[in-house]
Amino acid sequence: MTYLQVLEGRARYDGRSSFRTWLFGVIRRIAAGERRRAWLSAARLARFARLSPALDSHPEVARIAERETVHLLKSLDRLSSRQREILHLVFYQDLTIEEAAGVLGMKLGTARVHYERGKRRLRELLSKEAS
């Protein structure tokens, strides 16, 4: 992974530290991202395992969950395509904002703006329906 980031230009050495220090920093960030992805995946699986029997035994819970899912999907449709794409990559594909920016071919700062605006707009849309 580190080698790919260096080759693809996503990790660039700017000379502010020794090359060795910079390389270890890149390795550390990649390892932290992988740990984060593994932890999030395990947490999602655990949550699914806890909810799965409840959905089977309580039809009302299943109806509420379905209604909330439909509302979420409708709210996502109201976001701009860039905001929707960045949120999808970060939340559902477990990418970092930096990785999502690379996938979408945009600068990191642009991706962060779309990510923050998308979260804010989605929060507004979801809270309007809940009120």
- Against a cut of 0.75, is the pTM above it? no
Could you tell me if 50 and 63 lie in one domain?
A: no
Could you tell me if 103 and 118 lie in one domain?
A: yes
Could you tell me if 74 and 122 lie in one domain?
A: yes
Which one of 57, 83, 98 terminates a domain?
57
Output 76-81 pairs: Cβ under 8 A, ≥24 positions apart: 76/122, 78/121, 78/125, 79/118, 79/121, 79/122, 80/114, 80/118
Number of domains, the chain: 2
Would you write out the chain's pLDDT as a tens digit for each of its 131 residues?
A: 666 777 677 777 888 878 887 787 788 788 878 877 777 777 776 666 666 555 555 666 667 767 777 788 888 889 998 998 889 888 888 888 988 888 888 899 999 999 999 999 999 988 886 55
Could you tell me if 73 and 127 lie in one domain?
A: yes
Q: Which domain holds residue 67?
A: 58-131
Could you tell me if 68 and 31 lie in one domain?
A: no
Could you tell me if 70 and 103 lie in one domain?
A: yes
